[in-house]
Structure 1
Amino acid sequence: MTDVMEQNGGANGSGAISNGAGTTGPTGSVPATGTTEPDAANRIAEIRVRIDEIDSSLIELWQERAALSREVGATRMASGGTRLVLSREQEILERFRAALGADGTQLALLLLRAGRGPL
């Protein structure tokens, strides 16, 4: 997996140990929250808990959506239909683009691929 670069230039996953509330890495130079102010560090840690909960939900929903999409495709093909329906894909792309802009289009493309595989 690719390491994520933090704003200070250090790689996340480089061995630094953090509780999310300002604990420093092994070098002791930069807190894991990016601040040495205790109130800010605590607030960041609280927010990160919610972010992690949202991430877990997104992963679960992603997996459920992909499974349902695969089921739709298998059912359609088993009944003599096509592998995919381009008008449906365009509808999904437009919905995500309208709600999220260009990033929404990219997200929709990833969702579609997760459900039907590459074209």
Structure 2
Amino acid sequence: MPDTTGVPADDTLTEQQILSYRDEINELDAEILRLIKRRSEVSQRVGRARMAAGGPRIVYNREMTVLNKFGELGTDGRELGMILLRLGRGRLGGR
């Protein structure tokens, strides 16, 4: 009888392997969060310095470069890039 689950037979994992992958995912998530927080801090610092020097709040060509890079992941990647840009802007004009 043919397999109708859509999962190739060679992708069969034991419960222990699944748990191991989940542990790795949890570690990756923690690292991603750490990096996003750091990226936001650095971006906000650059933005504050740029504005203090009389520069623009947003540098659109820089943002387009970021969006194009994340666009390599498709539509969701561009959305992720937009979220990162928003996080990085912070409250540039406020306190």
Identify which of structures 1 and 2 has the higher relative contact order when contacts are C-alpha pairs closer than 8 Å and 6+ apart.
2
Q: Given the alignment, which residue of 58, 62, 65 partners 2:39?
A: 65
Please name the residue that 2:4 is paired with.
none
Residue 42 (structure 1) shift: 1.1
Question: 1:63-111, CA deviations, whole angstroms, 9 ceiling, x for partnerless residues?
Answer: 00000000010000000111110111011101110x2011110100000
Provide the aligned C-alpha RMSD in A.
1.4
Residue 40 (structure 1) shift: 1.8
Count of paired positions: 79
Normalised TM-score (structure 2) = 0.79
Residue 116 (str. 1) matches residue 70 (str. 2): no
* Distance across 2 between alignment mates of 1:117 and 1:102: 24
Normalised TM-score (structure 1) = 0.63
* Distance across 2 between alignment mates of 1:115 and 1:68: 8
SS at the partner of 1:51? helix
Structure 2 runs not aligned, ≥5 long: 1-12
SS at the partner of 1:81? coil
Residue 107 (str. 1) matches residue 80 (str. 2): yes
Structure 1 runs not aligned, ≥5 long: 1-38
